[in-house]
């Protein structure tokens, strides 16, 4: 693994695509794309802060990742040193905050808060029952809020509903992550949800959260512009909803490492598909006949 690939893996560069899609969709929904310079800054800031959050998480999670046999993680694999990961995290966060400063005060405040929370999450917050999971879920939703504030001073109803959808689905995915990574969390002596309830009960909570996100996604189609009767939104959203519910039901049955790996990829793919649906539905509005 060369250093360039290692850094991409450390910062989970694949998540950057989702961030870009979320910001662009929010800007288009709220008012329209800003001027090119502001557009570039609005994309760079969340990407860099996201990179910082993943890097600092791996910095603190070395022992848990070893216990979970996560040999694809660059620090565990020896491709990046812990000190190197810390430097990448700090530098990415500072540049991301600086980029937001040149957009507007709302964007700057969001960048500062979430950069700070990213470090606090890895250091302490993840071991507080549901608080760390809620932060991760919120960090999935906040790019839509960030993108909206780049071009508007108030959040439109569609962005509020989208943020709720992403938050509830993200929290469900986080609970599944706790079940999947239980061994490593126990090695770290984490006091997360599974310390207070069974895996099955946690899986039931995740299923309920996914069901709530599905209901909200249907609400968008029937009541909220630009998704009202929008065929471009409906089709990929139904596919993503079906995948999410299938994964959630799978966690109620006996599980294997193969299922865990598949579920991680499927749930991430479903969230990416929904984000893309938001973007495409806004660019190309195609109402259903009748």
Give the number of domains in the chain: 1
pLDDT digits (tens, 9 = 90+) for 269-279: 999 999 999 99
Which pLDDT does position 184 carry in this prediction?
64
- Whether 63 maps to a domain, the answer reads yes
pLDDT averaged over every residue in the chain: 89
Whether residue 70 is contained in a domain is answered as yes
Read off the pLDDT of each residue in 111-119 and give the average, rounded to a whole number: 96
Flag whether 52 is in a domain. yes
Is the model's pLDDT at 154 over the cut of 70? yes
- Answer yes or no: is pLDDT of 118 > 60: yes
Four-CA torsion 19, 23, 26, 31, nearest 10 degrees: -170
Q: Has residue 45 been placed in a domain?
A: yes
In a domain, 205, yes or no: yes
Domain that holds residue 121: 3-283
Those residues with Cβ within 8 angstroms of residue 64's Cβ, 6 or more apart along the chain or in another chain: 181, 184, 185, 187, 188, 190
Query: Does some domain include residue 288?
Result: no
User: Residue 289: pLDDT band by 50, 70, 90 thresholds?
Assistant: very low
Q: Is residue 290 part of a domain?
A: no
- CATH code for the domain of 119: 1.10.600
Task: Enumerate residues 6+ apart whose C-beta is below 8 A from 152.
Answer: 30, 31
Among 176, 174, 187, smallest CA distance to 67 is for 187
Convert the pLDDT of each residue in 45-63 to its tens digit: 999 999 999 999 999 888 7
Give the residue with greater pLDDT, 25 vs 78: 25
* Residue 287: strand pairing partners: 230
Q: Distance between the two ends of the chain, CA-based, in angstroms?
A: 55
> In this model, does residue 288 exceed pLDDT 60?
no
pLDDT in tens, 9-27: 889 888 888 999 999 999 9
Top-confidence residue, 66 or 83: 83
Look at 11-20, 84-93, 159-168, 250-259 and tell me which has the smallest mean pLDDT: 250-259
């Amino acid at each position: 693994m060369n250093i360039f690939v290692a850094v991409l893996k450390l910062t989970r560069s694949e998540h950057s695509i989702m961030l870009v899609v979320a910001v662009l969709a929010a800007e288009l929904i709220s008012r329209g794309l800003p001027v090119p310079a502001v557009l570039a800054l609005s994309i760079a800031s969340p990407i860099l802060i996201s990179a910082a959050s993943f890097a600092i998480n791996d910095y603190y999670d070395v022992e848990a990742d070893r216990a979970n046999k996560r040999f694809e993680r660059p620090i565990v694999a020896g491709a990046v040193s812990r000190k190197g990961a810390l430097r990448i995290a700090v530098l990415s966060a500072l540049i991301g905050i600086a980029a937001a400063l040149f957009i507007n005060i709302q964007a700057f405040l969001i960048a500062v808060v979430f950069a700070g929370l990213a470090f606090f999450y890895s250091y302490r917050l993840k071991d507080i029952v549901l608080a760390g999971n809620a932060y991760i879920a919120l960090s999935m939703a906040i790019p839509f809020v960030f993108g909206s504030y780049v071009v508007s001073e108030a959040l439109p109803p569609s962005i509020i509903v989208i943020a709720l959808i992403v938050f509830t689905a993200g929290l469900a995915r986080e609970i599944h992550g706790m079940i999947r990574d239980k061994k490593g969390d126990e090695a770290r002596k984490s006091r997360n949800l599974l310390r207070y309830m069974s895996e099955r009960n946690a899986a039931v909570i995740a299923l309920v959260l996914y069901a709530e996100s599905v209901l909200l996604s249907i609400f968008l189609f029937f009541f909220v512009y630009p998704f009202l009767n929008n065929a471009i939104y409906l089709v990929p959203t139904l596919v993503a909803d079906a995948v999410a519910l299938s994964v959630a039901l799978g966690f109620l049955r006996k599980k294997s490492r193969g299922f865990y790996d598949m579920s991680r990829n499927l749930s991430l793919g479903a969230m990416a598909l929904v984000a893309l649906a938001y973007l495409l539905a806004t660019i190309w509005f195609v109402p259903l006949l009748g």
